Amino acid sequence: MQDQTDPAPASTPASTPASAPVLLDAAAGRPLHPAALEVLDAALARGWADPRALHRAGRDARLLLENAREVVAGSLGVRRDEVRFTSPVDAVQRGLLGLARARLDAGARDLVLAPVEHAHVRHAASWWAQVHGGSVHEAPVGRDGRVDLDALERLARAPGTAAVALQLANHEIGTTQPVGAVALPESVDLFVDGSASLGLLDLPREGWAAAAGHATSWGGPGGVGVLLVRHGARWLNPFPGDPGPQDAGGALPDAPLALAAAAALRGTLAERAGVDARRRRLVDRIRATAATLPDVDLVGDPDDRLPHLLTFSCLYLPGDALVRELDRHGFAVASGSACTASTLEPSHVLAAVGALTHGNVRVSLAPEVTDDDVERLCHVLPDVVARLRAEVGL
């Protein structure tokens, strides 16, 4: 980590970092929404017990959990009995594989998805196919990351297909998917991964059987996931435990954290219209600046996207150098470049859309990011890129 002393070089006098870094990596994590903080202390004091217990403390925990479920259901436009709290990864795995499990006895073992799905979805699908002797089929995506709907539907109609997975919007490039427009055969159901987008984009009312969300995307506690299984959906628990969704997670949900997540979701949605209109405008501003830089690859759909997120790649530059240099200027950004990944593999999303994978910067604006913050970034960015390019000698 860099130190906190003023690193601004003479060439960028307006780039003095603020005391706290500007959070442009909100997609990866952000401070709890104030509404979550507001309920958390009382919820922790009251909701610590096993919510199945018959004593008073158990009833209290159960009440918090039911409250949380009610708020989340109302916020997302689903029924209360369709909401389960679990871990974020479990919500994805259980959501998708539960649909596959329900079709296993009919001999359907194959899963269909887009190559830009989150690693949690892809790993779950590969694991399922491997264990059950099936295959994973990927429908192609365009340069903007949007799936070829015809190809997806064609793959879904193959006799071995058990379920289809599609994300509401991409966690790295922001592009939305037409999840409400997928026409599937009667025997095949859709899982929607909303892990990057719930609270930011609306789930369609119809057309899906299971979905997953991650409270981080709406300012809730990072450990809370939401599994949605539609009432009457063909879904069976794919993991050890009771067959129904009531056993989701295999463990007891944390009632206080679930309530904090619910409060954050309600708070985020109440503020969404204003906050997201501003963030859309600010992302457009950053995009316009990045577009003026030489040899920069802008990635993702410029319009139909997450409101707060933009990705671009700078030719010849290592992603980790960009992240460190922007951090030195007081901006926290992410990168999908190989040199920033523990695996040293480049982002599969960037590769799938034919984007440049090195020199990648992902900017995702926290709700608090101001016009001034973004102006400062737009002032600093061209110099940062030019300086690092000069070091490369290109």
Partner 1 sequence: MSDGAPEVTSGGMGGTTGSGAALPEPALELDCRGLPCPRPVIELARHLGDVAPGEVLAVVAEDPAARADVPAWARMRAQEYLGEDVAVDGVARYLVRRRD
Number of chain positions touching partner 1 (CB under 8 A): 27
95: Cβ contacts below 8 Å, ≥ 6 apart: 191, 193, 210, 211, 212, 227, 228, 229
Q: Which of 6, 70, 345, 368 binds partner 1 (CB under 8 A)?
A: 345
Only one of the segments 182-190, 209-217, 275-283, 352-360 lies at the binding site for partner 1 (rule: CB under 8 A); that segment is 352-360
Only one of the segments 97-105, 123-131, 357-365, 374-382 lies at the binding site for partner 1 (rule: CB under 8 A); that segment is 357-365
Q: How far is the CB of 100 from partner 1 (least distance, A)?
A: 30
Q: Which of 297, 311, 331, 385 binds partner 1 (CB under 8 A)?
A: 297
Residue (311 or 313) nearer to partner 1, CB: 313
Residue (254 or 301) nearer to partner 1, CB: 301
C-alpha 276/C-alpha 26 separation (Å) is 13
Residue (280 or 324) nearer to partner 1, CB: 324
By the rule CB under 8 A, 385 interacts with partner 1: no
By the rule CB under 8 A, 344 interacts with partner 1: yes
By the rule CB under 8 A, 318 interacts with partner 1: yes
Which two tokens mark 169?
């919007």
Q: How far is the CB of 299 from partner 1 (least distance, A)?
A: 10
C-alpha 226/C-alpha 306 separation (Å) is 19
By the rule CB under 8 A, 356 interacts with partner 1: yes
Q: How far is CA 361 from CA 29, 222, 368, 370, 381, in A?
A: 16, 22, 20, 19, 11
Only one of the segments 34-42, 84-92, 252-260, 342-350 lies at the binding site for partner 1 (rule: CB under 8 A); that segment is 342-350
Of residues 141-160, those binding partner 1 (CB under 8 A): none
The whole-angstrom distance between residue 39's C-alpha and the CA centroid of its chain comes to 24
Tell me whether residue 339 is one of the annotated catalytic residues. Answer: yes
Of residues 266-295, those binding partner 1 (CB under 8 A): 295
Q: Which of 354, 368, 370, 386 binds partner 1 (CB under 8 A)?
A: 354
By the rule CB under 8 A, 358 interacts with partner 1: yes
Catalytic residue among 89, 151, 298, 339: 339
By the rule CB under 8 A, 388 interacts with partner 1: yes
Sign of CA dihedral 74, 75, 79, 81: negative
By the rule CB under 8 A, 346 interacts with partner 1: yes
Q: Which of 176, 217, 337, 364 binds partner 1 (CB under 8 A)?
A: 337
Only one of the segments 232-240, 281-289, 362-370, 386-394 lies at the binding site for partner 1 (rule: CB under 8 A); that segment is 386-394
C-alpha 89/C-alpha 327 separation (Å) is 29
Q: Which of 149, 339, 378, 382 binds partner 1 (CB under 8 A)?
A: 339
Q: Which of 315, 327, 378, 383 binds partner 1 (CB under 8 A)?
A: 315
Q: What does DSSP say about strands 225-229 and 83-86: parallel, antiparallel, or unpaired? A: antiparallel
Which two tokens mark 13?
């006098």
Residues marked as catalytic: 339
Q: Which residues bind partner 1 (CB under 8 A)?
A: 295, 297, 313, 315-318, 321, 337-339, 344-346, 350-351, 354-359, 388, 391-394
